[in-house]
């Protein structure tokens, strides 16, 4: 459970960093995301999940 909390904390840091460092650009990026079709967002999310699984397999192997 400690490891899971550490990983979750690191994810939150990485996710929050762009909002802290570049708030004006993040607003523009969010607007662009809202304009994207659902299918493109789904594909992007799927690719990110696959990349995450690959990274986990590299780290554990």
Dihedral (CA of 9, 12, 16, 18) sign? positive
CB atoms near residue 19 (< 10 Å): 13
Of the pLDDT bands very low, low, confident and very high (cuts 50, 70, 90), residue 61 is confident
- The ranges assigned to domains in the chain are 2-60
Of the pLDDT bands very low, low, confident and very high (cuts 50, 70, 90), residue 1 is confident
Question: What pLDDT score does 13 carry?
Answer: 97
At 7-52, the pLDDT tens digits run 999 999 999 999 999 999 999 999 999 999 999 999 999 999 999 9
Two tokens at 49? 């999940």
């Amino acid at each position: 459970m400690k490891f899971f909390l550490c990983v979750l904390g690191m994810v939150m840091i990485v996710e929050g960093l762009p909002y802290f460092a570049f708030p004006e650009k993040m607003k523009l990026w969010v607007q662009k995301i809202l304009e994207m079709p659902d299918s493109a967002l789904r594909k992007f999310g799927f690719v990110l999940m696959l990349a995450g699984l690959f990274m986990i397999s590299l780290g554990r192997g």
